[in-house]
Amino acid sequence: MNTNQMTKIAIHDNFIRFLENKEQYENRVTSVFLEELLKMIEVESTLNMTELHTIACIGEQEPINVTSIAEKMNLSKGNTSKITNKLLNAGWVRKTQLNDNKKEVYFRLTTAGKKLFALHDELHHKEQQRMYEFLNKYSESELDFIKRLFGDLSDFYR
């Protein structure tokens, strides 16, 4: 086996280990975050990450309809409808209609949903800062390569 092939094997192994560690980290952070969050806003509810990100999508774009949520989150309209109905029943979002379009249903956040949105946004900001600090150890050319690599990986897994 040549050096190039051995390097590719090592890259693949490191990538798989990265994905496993990332999943474990996200599960830990999500569990702690949601537990603390639900205590803070005093709501009895369970949420998964897709539901939480749906709340974030609504908060960023409100008013927004099911079709637009589905497009922005890369979900089916059917799945998005199920999620928004769960969020509606749990009191995170409310339905509205625009004055000039009474057929289309739009979603807005409730007061509890706005609190959740703000806390979620704060968590994302902290994670973003954590990533920036991590990337400080790389040179400009290394950062350009990392940017290209993750762009290519995103396209590869699309």
pLDDT category, 65, cuts 50, 70, 90?
very high
Domain-located, residue 103: yes
Taking alpha carbons only, the member of 35, 51, 37, 40 closest to residue 86 is 51
| Owner of token pair 């920036």 | 132
Q: Which comes out higher in pLDDT, residue 72 or 153?
A: 72
Domain-located, residue 40: no
Domain-located, residue 61: yes
Domain-located, residue 125: yes
Flag whether pLDDT at 126 surpasses 70: yes
Domain-located, residue 127: yes
Q: What is the mean pLDDT of residues 13-37?
A: 78
Amino acid 15: pLDDT:
86
Domain-located, residue 55: yes
Predicted structure pTM score: 0.70
Domain extent, residue 49, equals 45-156
Taking alpha carbons only, the member of 90, 45, 129, 61 closest to residue 37 is 45
* CA 111, 44, 71, 143 torsion-angle sign: positive
Q: Mean pLDDT for the chain?
A: 87
Flag whether pLDDT at 36 surpasses 80: no
Q: Which comes out higher in pLDDT, residue 43 or 59?
A: 59
Q: Kind of pairing, strands 93-98 and 101-109?
A: antiparallel
Tens of pLDDT, residue by residue over 109-118, are: 999 899 889 9
pLDDT category, 136, cuts 50, 70, 90?
very high
Domain-located, residue 128: yes
Q: What percent of the chain has pLDDT over 90?
A: 46
Tens of pLDDT, residue by residue over 67-104, are: 999 999 999 999 999 999 999 998 999 999 877 777 78
Give the number of domains in the chain: 1
Amino acid 135: pLDDT:
94
CATH number at residue 49: 1.10.10.10
Domain-located, residue 54: yes
Amino acid 39: pLDDT:
67
Amino acid 69: pLDDT:
96
